[in-house]
Copies of this chain bind each other. A is one copy, B any other.
Amino acid sequence: MRIVVPFSADRPKTRLGKVLTPDERREFAAAMLADVLAALGGVDRDLDVTVLATGPVEVEASVVVDDRPLTTAVNDRLDTAPTAVVMADLALATPDALEALLDSDADLAIAAGLGGGTNAFLARDPAFHVDYHGASYRDHLAIAREEGISVREVDSRRLAVDIDEPADLTEVLLHGDGAARDWLVDAGFELDVGGGRVEAVRE
């Protein structure tokens, strides 16, 4: 099965700019990508994984460089089915969570991200196409409806949590067990168990 992992090689994770420098964001993004690739590597299936990067990146997978906007670059790869697209910042992804997506027989299996995004999908019908602008999850359900293709919504916290904003770092510290969590700990982040939700703070 073909798997595409889009990755912003140039200026990744701008919304983490309040807590990480540009160099740190690049390192942390690379660590998350490594975690996603490791989770895919643990899936009990034959997967053909390609990192779809906006620029050159050194990683243990085949890389295709395509500097066009995300929607255009991904749509160009959906004419072969089945194809799955898994975002590179799903630092909590596990083989089990990915298998729940990849085992689906629906024309479209799709996992929502927090805040209305689409974090992962498997399209078994080439009629499906993406539009990542705005609340893409609802748009993708609408596209599937328009195309008359069957949908399975995959309910997974581990696929829902993409790491975009400082508050998301908490989830990596709480539930991650790979390179991204190690990177945060090395960079001085730790959990602050105060009132309400736990927070990630830097020493």
Task: Using CB atoms and an 8 Å cutoff, list the residues of chain A in contact with chain B.
Answer: 15, 94, 96-97, 100, 111-112, 114-117, 134-135, 137-138, 155-161, 164-165, 170-171, 174-175, 191, 193, 196-199
Contacts and interface: CB of A to CB of B under 8 A. Distances in A.
Contacts of A15: 196
A52 B67 CA distance: 55
A156 to B, nearest CB: 5
Given A114-B171, A116-B170, A170-B116, A96 B155 contact: yes
B160 A197 contact: no
B196 A138 contact: no
Given A115-B170, A164-B196, 8 more contacts: A15-B196, A114-B114, A115-B197, A115-B199, A116-B174, A116-B193, A156-B156, A157-B157
Contacts of A155: 94, 96-97, 100, 156-158
A171 B155 CA distance: 13
Contacts of A138: 174
Given A135-B174, A193-B134, A198 B157 contact: no
Given A135-B191, A138-B174, A174-B135, A114 B197 contact: yes
